[in-house]
Amino acid sequence: MQYLLLCAAILLPGSLAFPAFFQLETWRNTGLQNVTVYLDKFFPIFRRTQNLSLEERIKEMQRFFNLNVTGILDEETLEIIRLPRCGLPDMPEPRTPIGSSKWRKTRLTYKIVNYTPDLSRQSVDNAIERAFAVWGDVTPLEFRRVYIRPADIVIGFARRAHGDGNPFDGRGNVLAHAFGPGEGLGGDAHFDEDEKWSEYDQEINLFLVAAHEFGHSLGLDHSNVRGALMYPIYAYTNPDTFELPEDDKQRIQKLYGKFIMRF
């Protein structure tokens, strides 16, 4: 009977096919497996802690992104799934004893271990420095680059599997990821070398992505406030006029306090 219903759905016009979760076009372009992979990766808490149906898991995603909560994989929801984004979960599982939610010091070091061929070394250095300044300008945090000795935050470009258990997926989709404060990989930020990195609005802007990832390096999770720097979906804004949105400012100051004038 289920087989006959599936065949009938395939033969129906697109607006009538798969009424519960998928329209026919959705099924062709996205597929159930891709949707499940997306939900497993970015909303893992609902996979592991609750026995939710696919419809309920789609609803949880829609609630996070402030979409119409229907449980249906409509075009609005599909658009979110297709957009380039950060590789960290949107609703992570509770923190484990490994690592902590913040650094226990205000002077942090960083090291750049390699470079993308898309940009000059100076352009990468400048983008990274400016990205740290986004957070340093509103908190007591200070960031200093080191070249030889170990650093709190290690920054690098990599493709696919790169030794941290979180492989990249090629061009598009996941752009970068970072680890929260802690030892070992803690604080480190990795950027997908398969992306086309840029200084300005062509392709993916390194400064904007780095500023987002360093928010994770400092202990911030994703925000569901559209327009926030820590919103998980990449969106271009002019780097020359960028100002840290109020949502991000309040959240980072809750962890580290407000900026202190340095003499």
Number of domains within the chain: 2
- Please give the pLDDT value at position 120: 98
Q: Are residues 233 and 132 in the same domain?
A: yes
In this model, does residue 2 exceed pLDDT 90? no
243 in active site: no
Same domain, yes or no: 76 and 118: no
77 and 112 inside one domain? no
118 assigned to some structural domain: yes
Q: Say if residue 192 carries a ligand binding annotation.
A: yes
Mean pLDDT of 122-142: 99
User: For residue 233, what is the DSSP state?
Assistant: B
Q: In the prediction, which pLDDT does 49 show?
A: 58
- Contact status, residue 242 vs residue 208, Cβ threshold 8 Å: yes
Instruction: Choose, from 56, 76, 213, 246, the residue flagged as catalytic.
Output: 213
Domain-embedded: residue 237 = yes
| 135 and 205, same domain (yes or no) | yes
Give DSSP secondary structure letters for 92-106.
Answer: PPPPPSSS-SS-S-S
In a domain, 206, yes or no: yes
Q: Which range has highest mean pLDDT (33-42, 52-61, 95-104, 241-250)?
A: 241-250
Higher pLDDT, 125 or 11: 125
Q: Tell whether residue 247 is among the known ligand binding residues.
A: no
Phi, psi of 198 (to 5 degrees): -140, 165
Whether residue 153 sits in one domain with residue 198: yes
Give per-residue pLDDT as tens, 142-159.
Answer: 999 999 999 999 999 999
Q: Is 60 annotated as a binding residue?
A: no
In terms of DSSP bridges, do strands 153-158 and 189-192 run parallel, antiparallel, or are they unpaired?
A: parallel
Determine the average pLDDT of the residues in 242-250.
98
Model pLDDT for residues 51-79, shown as the tens digit of each residue: 788 999 999 999 999 999 999 999 999 99
Full domain range(s) for residue 9:
2-82
Q: Convert the pLDDT of each residue in 158-198 to its tens digit.
A: 999 999 999 999 999 999 999 999 999 999 999 999 999 99
pLDDT confidence bin for 91, thresholds 50/70/90: confident
Do 227 and 144 belong together in one domain?
A: yes
Indicate if 70 and 184 belong to the same structural domain. no
Q: Is 86 annotated as a binding residue?
A: yes
The answer to whether 186 is a known ligand-binding residue is yes
Look at residue 252 in the predicted model and tell me its pLDDT.
Answer: 98
The answer to whether residues 99 and 178 touch, using CB atoms and an 8 Å cutoff, is: no
Query: Which has more confidence, 99 or 12?
Result: 99
200 pLDDT tier (thresholds 50, 70, 90): confident
Give the pLDDT band (50/70/90) at residue 85.
very high
Q: What is the mean pLDDT of residues 20-48?
A: 68
Number of H helices and E strands in the chain, helices first, is 9, 8
78 lies in the same domain as 122 = no
Q: Is residue 100, in this structure, part of any structural domain at all?
A: no
